[in-house]
Amino acid sequence: MDIRPITFDDLPQVLDLVQALAKHHGDTPQASLGSLSRDLFGPMTWAQGLVADEDGTLQAYALLMPLMRAQLGQRGMDLHHLFVAEPARGAGLGTAMVRAVRAHALAQGCDYLTVSTQEANAEARDFYIHHGFTPAPPSPWRFAMDLSRG
C-alpha cells in the first residue's frame, strides 16, 4: 500500500470515495469531478489530499484544509475528511493515514492538526483520541454566514 498525494488522475476514484463517505453519513453527495478538480488543482487550491493506493485502486483518502493562528504565528491543518473504503477497514489503514497526515502537516511547517466528527460518531471520536487528538469543544461564540443567500 502506497500513501501519497492525490494526483489529477486519481479524481474519479476520489470522487467515488467522497460520495461513499457522504452516503455513510446520510448526506446526499453533491461533489463532482469539477468541484474536486477546482479545489485540489485549480488556480487557487483550496485543499490538499492524500490517498492510499493499492495497485491502482484507491482504498482511502484524506482531505486537509490549511488553518492558521495568526496571533501565535502558527500554521495548522484541519483533517476535513478521512475515509477508508469498506473492504479495507480493520487492517490498520486508518492508522497509517493519520500517520501520513501528521507527517504531511509537519513537512509543511504545521504546529497543529484539528479534526471534527459527528456528535453521535463515538467510534470516530475514540479512534482520533487513540491516535493523539484531544477533545477541543467548540466555542458557543462561533458563527457562520450563508453566502449563497445574498
Domain ranges of the chain: 2-132
Q: Which residues contact 45 (CB under 8 A, 6 or more apart)?
A: 39
**Phi/psi of residue 136, nearest 5 degrees:** -140, 85
**pLDDT tens column, 53-80:** 999 999 999 999 999 999 999 999 999 9
Angle, CA of 123, 129 and 60, to the nearest 5° = 60
Containing 39, the helix (H) or strand (E) segment is helix 33-41
| Alpha-carbon span 136 to 20, nearest angstrom | 27
Taking the domain 2-132, which CATH number applies?
3.40.630.30
Residue 140's pLDDT is 67
- pTM: predicted TM-score of the whole model, two decimal places: 0.91
